[in-house]
Structure 1
Amino acid sequence: MVTTQSADGIEVAYEQHGTGQPLVLLHGGMAPREYWTPVIPHFEEYAAIVPQRPGFGTCLDGPAETTADEILEREARYVRALVDAVDGEPILFGHSYGALTAIEAATAAPVEAVVGYEPAVLPEGFRAEADLADRMDALIDAGDRREAVKRYVEQVLHPHGIDDLDAWLAEWPVWPDCVDLAEEVVRMNRAVEQYQLPDRLAVDAPVLVLTGTSGPDFLRESARAVHDALPQSRLVEFDGVSHSGPGEAPALLSAEVDAFLAE
């Protein structure tokens, strides 16, 4: 793990795999850095930079006290500090909440390009009814943190239902360690529920927006809305790929990313 400070004094920590132009990989949800393990071999020509998001194993301005209003800006500042700390103009590749963070960071950071798989943005109608953070909070207050995290997994990773969630969780590499992240996931969800997509996202770099047909319908809708709000972007939809696209189909996604970056 490399630990360094940006020019404005923010300490950043990250793993680096390989050499070349920096490719910053930003995980989403409860995923650990290891989420990107199957992805990294498909980008051997780059220096893969894998940070731990603030609050998910590292700190920035006391994540335990950070409010929903502040959490997205906190993480965007962290990514901007990381951009300042690495050598060369990087490419940002984010998944879910990491994709939203990448896009927000790119509004005020010198990056060559951004790739976002299903940015964690809620359509307006869906956002008005969203209550996952409240439901998780109630379960945590009742002393059932494990059940709170299960509700997140159920709604975000398996929105179309699953026959045996407990059996799936037993095979999930980050379960049950991710239960320790319950409070941070609640704060993240509140930030998502409060975030309103502007008519225009002020990102100068080209952006590749990716989505899959087997994930939540609202995220496919939001991927199109994010694409429409960007001044220069491309939208690609993968048939049969879920919200876990980068880890689920790394060869398929990396081929599309390579083609985009080659242009």
Structure 2
Amino acid sequence: MSMTQSADGTEVAYERRGDGRPLILLHGGMAPREYWDTVVPHFDDFGAVLPRRPGFGTCLDSLETTSAADVLDRETEYVCSLVDAVDGKSILFGHSFGALTALETARDAEVEAVLAYEPAILPDGFREQADLADRMEQLIKDGQRCEAVKRYIETVLHPDGIDDLEGWLAGWPVWPDCVDLAEEVVRMNRAVERYELPTHFDIDAPVLVMSGTDGPAFLRKSARDVHETLPHSRFVEFDGVSHSGPGEAPGLISSEVTSFLDR
């Protein structure tokens, strides 16, 4: 495990696998960096960089006072530190909140390309009514941490409903450990609910924006909206793939990514 430090002094732990072009993999809201374990083997020509996001794992205690307003700035600062720390020009591959972080980082950092799977950006109409952070926060205050995390799963991962949530959770590798992250997820969701998509993303690097036909409708719309704000982008939608796309269909998505990067 290697260490670097962001501009605000936050220590960032990361692992590098392989010696090829650096591919920084940024996981989403409830997923640990181990989310990418099934993805990395499909990128054996790259040097995969797997950071542990601040607020996850051993970094959690030092970030308990981070406000929602500071979350995205904190995220982009740590990714910028990774871009500076690794040898070679980095490619950023982000999923969900990690995709939003990748896009925001690329506005300032010089990167080779950005790969963004369903960035955690809410369409205006949806954003104005979003209250997931408030609902989760109230459940935590009421001592119902597990229920708070379940609300996140139902809203983001299964917005069309799920017949057997308990059965699904029993097979989810990060449950129930992710319950410890409830406060961090509240801060992250509040940051997402306050974020407004710019009318123009000033990103010089080429961007591949991806979505799946089985993902939440609001994130599918946002993915297309993001594509339209970018000067150099390609949009791809994968049939039958959900919001968990990279981990769910790594072969399919890595093939599209590799083709994009080779152009």
TM-score when scaled to structure 1?
0.97
**Match runs of 1:1-263 below 5 Å:** 1-5=1-5, 11-59=11-59, 62-263=62-263
CA contact (8 A) 1:10 1:81 kept: no
CA contact (8 A) 1:60 1:74 kept: no
Deviations 1:53-93 (A, max 9, x none): 11112549942111111100110010001100000101000
User: Tell me, what secondary structure is at the counterpart of 1:65?
Assistant: coil
What is the one-letter code of the residue matched to 2:135? R
Q: Within 1, Cα distance between the matches of 2:208 and 2:4?
A: 29
CA contact (8 A) 1:6 1:85 kept: no
CA contact (8 A) 2:55 2:184 kept: yes
CA contact (8 A) 2:76 2:101 kept: yes
RMSD: 1.5
Specify whether residues 142 and 61 from structure 1 end up closer, same or farther in structure 2 by C-alpha distance, changes over 3 A only.
Answer: closer
TM-score when scaled to structure 2?
0.97
Question: Matched residue pairs, number?
Answer: 263
Specify whether residues 8 and 75 from structure 1 end up closer, same or farther in structure 2 by C-alpha distance, changes over 3 A only.
Answer: closer
CA contact (8 A) 2:30 2:178 kept: yes
CA contact (8 A) 1:127 1:193 kept: yes
Provide structure 2 residue ranges, at least 5 long, that are not aligned to the other structure. Answer: none
Specify whether residues 259 and 63 from structure 1 end up closer, same or farther in structure 2 by C-alpha distance, changes over 3 A only.
Answer: same
User: Tell me, what secondary structure is at the counterpart of 1:88?
Assistant: coil
Q: Within 2, Cα distance between the matches of 1:54 and 1:129?
A: 28
What is the one-letter code of the residue matched to 1:12? V
Q: Within 2, Cα distance between the matches of 1:19 and 1:167?
A: 40
What is the one-letter code of the residue matched to 1:103? L
CA contact (8 A) 1:22 1:88 kept: yes
CA contact (8 A) 1:7 1:84 kept: no
Q: Within 2, Cα distance between the matches of 1:236 and 1:135?
A: 33
Q: Within 1, Cα distance between the matches of 2:62 and 2:206?
A: 33
Q: CA deviation at 1:13?
A: 1.2
Q: Within 1, Cα distance between the matches of 2:245 and 2:6?
A: 31
Q: Within 2, Cα distance between the matches of 1:177 and 1:8?
A: 28
Specify whether residues 9 and 63 from structure 1 end up closer, same or farther in structure 2 by C-alpha distance, changes over 3 A only.
Answer: closer
